[in-house]
Amino acid sequence: MATAADFASIVSGSHTAKFRAVAVNGYQDGETPTGTELKIINGDVELDATADIRGTASLTLAEPWPEVRNRSLAPFGAEVFIARGVDLGGAGVLWAPLGYYRVNDVEQADAAKGPVHVALEDRMSTIIDSRFLEPRQWLQGTLVGDIVEEVVTEIYPSATIIFDDDSDESQLGRSLIVEESRFEVLKTLADGLGKIFYWDAQGRLVFQTAPDEDVPVWIVNAGPGGVMVQADRSLSREGVYNAVVVLGEGTDEMPPVRAVAYDAQASSPTFFGGPFGRVPRFYSSSFITMQSQAENAAVNLLRQSLGAPYDVGASAVPNPALKPYDAIRVVYNDGSREMHIVEKVTIPLNVESSLNIATRQSTIIHVGIT
Q: Are residues 146 and 117 both part of a single domain? A: no
pLDDT in tens, 218-273: 999 988 778 988 888 887 888 788 999 999 876 666 688 899 999 998 888 889 98
Q: Are residues 165 and 118 both part of a single domain? A: no
Q: Does some domain include residue 30?
A: yes
Q: Are residues 295 and 199 both part of a single domain? A: no
User: Whose CA is closest to 281, among 290, 270, 293, 268?
Assistant: 270
Cα torsion 354, 2, 56, 313: sign = negative
What residues does 84 pair with on adjacent strands? 19, 96
254, 285, 305 - which closes a domain: 305
Q: Does some domain include residue 311?
A: no
CATH code where residue 32 lies: 4.10.410
pLDDT at residue number 293:
83
pLDDT bucket at 307, cuts 50 / 70 / 90: low
CATH code where residue 169 lies: 3.55.50.10
336-337-339 Cα angle (round to 5): 160
Q: Are residues 9 and 123 both part of a single domain? A: yes
Q: Look at residue 285 and tell me whether its pLDDT is greater than 90.
A: no
Query: How much of the chain, in percent, has pLDDT values that exceed 70?
Result: 95
Q: Look at residue 310 and tell me whether its pLDDT is greater than 80.
A: no
Query: How much of the chain, in percent, has pLDDT values that exceed 90?
Result: 61
pLDDT at residue number 259:
94
Give the CA-trace dihedral at 200, 205, 206, 207, to 10 degrees. Answer: 140
CATH code where residue 244 lies: 3.30.1920
pLDDT at residue number 326:
93
Q: Are residues 109 and 78 both part of a single domain? A: yes
102 contacts: CB under 8 Å, gap ≥ 6: 75, 77, 78, 79, 120, 121, 122, 123, 125, 126
Q: Are residues 60 and 86 both part of a single domain? A: yes
φ and ψ at residue 115, rounded to 5 degrees: -65, 155
pLDDT bucket at 48, cuts 50 / 70 / 90: very high
Measured CA to CA, the distance from residue 6 to residue 180 in angstroms comes to 42
Q: Are 193 and 185 in contact (CB under 8 A)?
A: no
Q: Are residues 66 and 148 both part of a single domain? A: no
User: Whose CA is closest to 63, among 83, 84, 43?
Assistant: 43
Count of domains for the chain: 3
Q: Does some domain include residue 288?
A: yes
Q: Does some domain include residue 182?
A: yes
Q: Are residues 244 and 300 both part of a single domain? A: yes
Q: Are residues 107 and 22 both part of a single domain? A: yes
Q: Are residues 245 and 195 both part of a single domain? A: no
| Angle between helix 182-193 and 291-303 (nearest 10) | 100
By CB atoms closer than 10 A (0-12, 13-18, 19+), residue 18 is middle
User: Whose CA is closest to 44, among 24, 15, 19, 78?
Assistant: 19
| CA distance readout (Å), 332 to 2, 12, 256, 269 | 27, 16, 49, 21
Q: Do the strands 337-348 and 355-361 form a parallel or antiparallel pair, or are they unpaired?
A: antiparallel
Q: What SS3 state is found at 115?
A: coil
Helices and strands per DSSP (H, E), number in the chain: 5, 22
Q: Does some domain include residue 233?
A: no
pLDDT at residue number 250:
67
255, 285, 305 - which closes a domain: 305
Measured CA to CA, the distance from residue 7 to residue 305 in angstroms comes to 28
DSSP states along 27-92: S--SSS--EEEP-EEEEEEEEETTSSS-EEEEEEE--PPPBTTB-TTSTTT-EEEEEEEEE-GGG-
Q: Are residues 107 and 150 both part of a single domain? A: no
Q: Does some domain include residue 218?
A: no
| Angle between helix 144-153 and 182-193 (nearest 10) | 150
pLDDT at residue number 20:
98
104, 127, 150 - which closes a domain: 127
Q: Does some domain include residue 360?
A: no
pLDDT at residue number 361:
78
Q: Are residues 38 and 123 both part of a single domain? A: yes
Tell me the one-letter amino acid at 176: L
φ and ψ at residue 213, rounded to 5 degrees: -95, 5
Q: Does some domain include residue 334?
A: no
313-317-318 Cα angle (round to 5): 90
Range of the domain at 245: 239-305
